[in-house]
Structure 1
Amino acid sequence: METKLNGSRASEAVADLGWRFLLGSLRTAVPVGSPARAIEVAARAVAVCGDEAEGHLIIDVRPRRVLLVLQSSAHAGVTTRDVDLAHQISTALRGLGLRTEPEIATGAPRSVQLLELAIDALDIAGIRPFWKAVLGYADEAGAEGPRDPIVDPLGQGPAIWFQQMDAPRPQRNRIHLDLSLPHDEALSRIGEALAAGGRLVSEERAPAFWVLADREGNEVCVTTWQGRDG
């Protein structure tokens, strides 16, 4: 039986394969040498998943890398079946002489990550329809409530979620970025950001998230799955 997994179980199940758990999905980026090789990788992943590809597999093909994402659309999260498919895909790609490892391990600029926009709002239900309409966004599977996040149905833009405010905060930018990173890369990225002139606003909720800001106070939350299972 297919069972939905929490972050710690999902991350642990694929850590040795190079896949990373981010925001309810398993992700890996496979470096390739050419567009033709990228298509070959994508085709092999689809063949491994077979009829289950439509309900579990998302592929982003670029000339030098292929991003593979596994998530059960029926459960809106990672399941035991997604873990099985990650193992099978990794085995299949080893047969092509490739490995499902974080890109950073191969000297590429960075590994997998996800970007979200957070909008602070007093009346989430009141503003959510506007953002959904103007961006052409849709409800996320399993999250159709009036205060739930909205997503790009084509996967081209970042997800947007709404943070409840108790009172107006005109002195602060009411839109901030949420950057979801692999749990084993977050600290190094934070260090780089601080060295580049940023400052640490809060680490009270770390490792679930750290709040950083630039010199003018514009904020970004660096997040991981850790600290969220409880």
Structure 2
Amino acid sequence: MERTLGRQEASEAVQEFGWRFLLGSLRTSVPVGSLARAIGFAADAVAVCGDDADRHLSVDARPDRVVFTLQSLERAAVTTRDVELALLISASADSAGLRAEPEIGTGAPRSVQIVEIAIDALDIAGIRPFWKAVMGYTAESGADGPADPLVDPVGQSPAIWFQQMDSPRPQRNRIHFDISVPHDEAAPRVEAALAAGGRLVSATRAPAFWVLADREGNEACVTTWQGRDN
């Protein structure tokens, strides 16, 4: 029977096969040598997933790599079936002489990540319709409450979520980026940002997230699945 998995269980089930758990999904990036090979391998992955491909798998095929995402669309979460499909795709990659490369230092500029836009607001219900309209976004499946996140219906742009403020805060920016990265790549990403002139605003919630800022105080968070409630 298909079962929804917690963050740690999902991560541990696929990590050794080159997949990473990010924001309720499993992702991997497989380097290839051409767009033709990318399309061919993407087709192989769809074939091994069979009838479950449409309900679990999405693919971004490019000349240098193919990025696979697995998530049960009906549950908006990772399930045991997603893990099974991940292992099937990894086995298909091995057979084709390809390999997922999540680790930094393998020649890839970076591995997988997800970027979200966070907007701090006093009246989330009041501003959410504006952002939904101006961005051409929709609600996530089963989550269309007045304070719920918004997503790009074709998956091209970052999701938007809203953070409740208790009082006005004119002294700092109220829109920031959340960069969700593999848990084993977070520390190097934070170190690189600091070396590039950033500063650490807070690490009290690490490894769930580190709050960083550029020299002018504009903030961004590097986030992982760790340190959160399942």
TM-score (norm 1): 0.98
Instruction: Determine the C-alpha separation between the residues in 1 that align with 2:84 and 2:105.
Output: 23
Report the Cα distance in structure 1 between the residues aligned to 2:88 and 2:101, rounded to whole angstroms. 14
Q: 1:53 and 1:105, CA in 2 relative to 1: closer, same or farther beyond 3 A?
A: farther
Letter of the 2:16 counterpart: D
C-alpha contact 1:17 1:90 (8 A) present in aligned 2: yes
Per the TM alignment, residue 106 of structure 1 is displaced from its structure 2 partner at its CA by 2.6
1:111 shift after superposition: 0.8
Quick check: 1:11 aligned with 2:21?
no
Scaled by the length of structure 2, the TM-score of the pair is 0.98
Give the share of equivalent positions with the same residue, in percent. 72
- 1:138-195 deviations in whole A, cap 9, x for unaligned? 1112322111110001110001000000011111111001000000000001001101
In structure 1, the gaps of 5 or more residues are none
How far apart are the structure 1 equivalents of 2:35 and 2:104? 20
Letter in 1 for 2:225: W
Instruction: Name the residue aligned to 1:133.
Output: 133
Q: Which moved more, 1:52-61 or 1:105-114?
A: 105-114
> What is the distance in 2 between the residues matched to 1:117 and 1:137?
13
Residue in structure 2 matched with residue 213 of structure 1 by the alignment: 213
Q: Which residue matches 1:40?
A: 40
Partners of 2:208 and 2:27 in 1: how far apart? 18
Match of 2:96 in 1: 96
Question: Take 1:189 and 1:222, find their aligned partners in 2: how far apart are those partners?
Answer: 8
Q: Which amino acid aligns with 1:216?
A: E
2:22 alignment partner in structure 1: 22
Q: Secondary structure at the match of 2:54?
A: helix
Match of 2:70 in 1: 70
What is the distance in 2 between the residues matched to 1:105 and 1:35? 23
How many Å apart are 1:103 and its aligned residue?
6.1
1:115 paired residue number: 115
Check whether the contact 1:202–1:212 (CA below 8 A) recurs between aligned residues.
yes
Work out whether residues 31 and 64 of structure 1, in 8 Å CA contact, stay in contact via their aligned partners in 2: yes
Partners in 1 of 2:142 and 2:10 — Cα distance? 19
- Consecutive unaligned residues of structure 2, counting only runs of 5 or more, are none
